[in-house]
C-alpha cells in the first residue's frame, strides 16, 4: 500500500507529528486549507501512520503529540492544544522532542499531521543543521503539483522539516517561537540568530494529503 523506499542507510531519523485531530473543537477549528482539523483523523489512522509503521527501517521512533489515541508501533503523547490553530505545532513539537527516547539520531523529522514523507526520498545528506523539503500535492492532479516550500522566499517550510538534535543543545526551542500565523518565518529568523544553518532540500518531498483542502492558496 505504501510503496517502496531507500533502505541503504541505517535507521537514524526520528519522526514527530503534531496533531489536534481529536480535540473537542476539532470539528469547528479549521486549518489554513479551509477544512476542520477533525478530517485529519482518518488520514492519520489510514494512511500516514500505517505507512510510517510499515516503513520500519525508516524511523527509529514515531511520536504523535496532541489530542490523539493509541496506534500500534508509535508513541502517543497526550498534549492539549493551547491556541486552537497551527501555532499549537510549536509547543507540541518541542514536547515530542523532549520525549524522544533516542536523541542520538542524525535527524528528527518534525511534521504536521496532514503531510506524508515520500517513500522514495533518499537519505538526507547535507552539512546544514536544518533541511527544508519540497512540498507537493495531488489534490488537483494525480500527476502532482509543487507547492510553496519557503525556499523561494528564504524561510524553512513549517509544514515539515528535518533538524539535527544539536540544534536543541545550541539553544533552539520550538516553544520559544512566537505563535504568529507566519511562525515558520520567525522560526527561520531564530535559527539564523543562533548561528544555525539551513538549506532547501528539493530532493526530499513532503506530500500535502489533507482531503478537501486548498493547499495551493
Per-residue pLDDT of the chain (217 residues; tens, 9 = 90+): 476 655 656 679 999 999 999 999 888 878 877 788 899 999 999 999 999 999 988 999 999 999 999 999 999 999 999 998 889 999 999 999 999 999 999 999 999 999 999 999 999 998 999 999 999 999 888 888 999 999 999 999 999 999 999 999 999 999 999 999 999 999 999 999 999 999 999 999 999 998 888 887 7
Q: C-alpha distances in angstroms, 29 versus 34, 36, 44, 76, 89?
A: 9, 6, 17, 22, 14
The domain ranges of the chain are 13-208
**Pair 149, 125: CB distance under 8 Å:** no
- What's the pLDDT score for residue 142? 83
**Pair 116, 204: CB distance under 8 Å:** no
* HSE toward the beta carbon, residue 115, CA cutoff 13 A: 27
- What's the pLDDT score for residue 28? 83
- What's the pLDDT score for residue 192? 97
CA distance 157 to 151: 8
Q: C-alpha distances in angstroms, 216 versus 19, 27, 133, 186, 205?
A: 21, 22, 16, 21, 16
Q: What is the three-class DSSP state of 9? A: coil
- What's the pLDDT score for residue 213? 83
- What's the pLDDT score for residue 5? 58
CA distance 175 to 17: 15
CA distance 41 to 191: 31
- What's the pLDDT score for residue 3? 66
Neighbouring CB atoms inside 10 A of 182's CB total: 11
CA distance 71 to 126: 32
* Grid cell in block for residue 73: 508501533
Q: Which fold has domain 13-208?
A: Spore Coat Polysaccharide Biosynthesis Protein SpsA; Chain A (3.90.550)
Amino acid at each position: 500500500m505504501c510503496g517502496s523506499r531507500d533502505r541503504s542507510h541505517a535507521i537514524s531519523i526520528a519522526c514527530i507529528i503534531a496533531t489536534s485531530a481529536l480535540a473537542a473543537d476539532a470539528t469547528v477549528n479549521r486549518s489554513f486549507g479551509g477544512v476542520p482539523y477533525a478530517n485529519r483523523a482518518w488520514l492519520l489512522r489510514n494512511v500516514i501512520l500505517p505507512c510510517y509503521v510499515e516503513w520500519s527501517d525508516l524511523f527509529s521512533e514515531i511520536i504523535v503529540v496532541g489530542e490523539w489515541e493509541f496506534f500500534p508501533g508509535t508513541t502517543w503523547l497526550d498534549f492539549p492544544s493551547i491556541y486552537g490553530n497551527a501555532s499549537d505545532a510549536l509547543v507540541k513539537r518541542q514536547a515530542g522532542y523532549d520525549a524522544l527516547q533516542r536523541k542520538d539520531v542524525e535527524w528528527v523529522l518534525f511534521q504536521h499531521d496532514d503531510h506524508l514523507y515520500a517513500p522514495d526520498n533518499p537519505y538526507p545528506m547535507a552539512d546544514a543543521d536544518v533541511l527544508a523539503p519540497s512540498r507537493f500535492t495531488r489534490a488537483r492532479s494525480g500527476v502532482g503539483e509543487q507547492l510553496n516550500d519557503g525556499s523561494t522566499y528564504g524561510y524553512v517550510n513549517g509544514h515539515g522539516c528535518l533538524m539535527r538534535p544539536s540544534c536543541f543543545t545550541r539553544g533552539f526551542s520550538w516553544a520559544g517561537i512566537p505563535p504568529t500565523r507566519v511562525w515558520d518565518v520567525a522560526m527561520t529568523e531564530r535559527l539564523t540568530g543562533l548561528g544555525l544553518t539551513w538549506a532547501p532540500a528539493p530532493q526530499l518531498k513532503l506530500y500535502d494529503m489533507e482531503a478537501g483542502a486548498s493547499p495551493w492558496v
